[in-house]
């Protein structure tokens, strides 16, 4: 059974964004963020920022990582809760990228949102054949300070290797290579399949063909959001 939604704002978007590396989550997240005025919470970026800033959650996470452990689900959910409560951009909604990766994490996220009187509107999976991702990954460029992403072929910056907004140099991530990608894809598929099943049962999962152009993917996403608000 599909969940009911507590928000009266038809333009709100509260979503989990799933997809393998290179599927286009960064590009689409920026479009969603700009149109719907929501925050983009990339849990990897959040974790690195919290550690660098020495926040309470960051200090706990650093201790665990320095000892070679994995940061607990409770810490990750706590960091997300902090952002939802203190980040003004999150008032109209959020895009959660990189979490949940497991069913227990999805359950903990639902519990936290329920405590806030909220529910997810969408769990969107950007699906693409593994073989197509190699060219996407090797062409990807990142503006590290902002997280803006580009692609040499599909989404090039206006000036080669320069960020459109600041003009600063773009970089390629060290792990954006074919060998590393294959390992990351194997891990992604193993983790994500059960999470997809979880959100399918909730009635909020949508699969989007990410092999299409970024403009076509964006059109599909807007149609999904519009259907929810009707």
Confirm whether residue 44 is marked as ligand binding: no
Confirm whether residue 195 is marked as ligand binding: no
Confirm whether residue 69 is marked as ligand binding: yes
Annotation says 92 is catalytic: no
Does residue 184 sit in helix, strand or coil?
helix
Q: Rounded to the nearest 5°, which phi and psi values hold at 94?
A: -155, 155
Annotation says 158 is catalytic: no
Confirm whether residue 17 is marked as ligand binding: no
CA dihedral 125, 129, 130, 133 (to 10 degrees): -80
> Of residues 81, 184, 202, 228, which has the active-site annotation?
184
Annotation says 173 is catalytic: yes
Reported in sequence order, the residue ranges of 19-121 that DSSP labels E, i.e. its strands, are 39-42, 93-97
* Cα distance from N-terminal residue to C-terminal residue, the chain: 17
Confirm whether residue 180 is marked as ligand binding: no
Confirm whether residue 23 is marked as ligand binding: yes
Annotation says 184 is catalytic: yes
Confirm whether residue 4 is marked as ligand binding: no
The Cα 26–Cα 128 span in angstroms is 15
> Of residues 173, 202, 206, 228, which has the active-site annotation?
173
Q: Which residues contact 83 (CB under 8 A, 6 or more apart)?
A: 39, 41, 46, 90, 94
Confirm whether residue 26 is marked as ligand binding: yes
CA distances from 6 to 96, 112, 114, 226 (A): 18, 15, 10, 16
Closest C-alpha to 101, from 219, 198, 213, 191: 191
Confirm whether residue 22 is marked as ligand binding: yes
> Of residues 60, 101, 108, 136, which has the active-site annotation?
101
Confirm whether residue 105 is marked as ligand binding: yes
> Of residues 14, 136, 140, 148, which has the active-site annotation?
140
Annotation says 101 is catalytic: yes
Confirm whether residue 99 is marked as ligand binding: yes
Query: Where is the binding site, in residues?
Result: 22-27, 43, 48, 69-71, 98-101, 105, 140, 149-150, 173, 184, 212
Binding positions for AMP: 43, 48, 69-71, 98-101, 105, 173, 184
The set of catalytic residues is: 25, 101, 140, 173, 184
Q: Which residues are annotated as a binding site for ATP?
A: 22-27, 140, 149-150, 212
């Amino acid at each position: 059974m599909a969940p009911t939604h507590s928000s009266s704002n038809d333009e709100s978007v509260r979503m989990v964004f799933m997809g393998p590396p290179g599927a286009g989550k960064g590009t689409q997240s920026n479009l969603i963020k700009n149109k719907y005025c929501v925050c983009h919470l990339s849990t990897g970026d959040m974790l690195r920022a919290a550690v660098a800033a020495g926040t309470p959650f960051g200090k706990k996470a650093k201790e665990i990582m320095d000892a070679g452990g994995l940061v607990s689900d409770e810490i990750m959910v706590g960091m997300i809760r902090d952002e939802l409560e203190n980040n003004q951009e999150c008032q109209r909604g959020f895009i959660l990228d990189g979490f949940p990766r497991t069913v227990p994490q999805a359950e903990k996220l639902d519990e936290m949102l329920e405590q806030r009187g909220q529910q997810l509107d969408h769990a969107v999976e950007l699906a693409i054949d593994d073989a197509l991702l190699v060219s996407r990954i090797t062409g990807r460029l990142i503006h590290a300070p902002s997280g803006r992403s580009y692609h040499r072929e599909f989404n090039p910056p206006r000036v080669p290797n320069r960020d459109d907004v600041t003009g600063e140099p773009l970089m390629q991530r060290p792990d954006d290579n074919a060998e590393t990608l294959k390992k990351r894809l194997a891990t992604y598929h193993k983790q994500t399949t059960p999470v997809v099943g979880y959100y399918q049962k909730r009635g909020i999962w949508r699969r989007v063909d990410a092999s299409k152009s970024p403009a076509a993917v964006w059109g599909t996403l807007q149609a999904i959001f519009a259907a929810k608000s009707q």
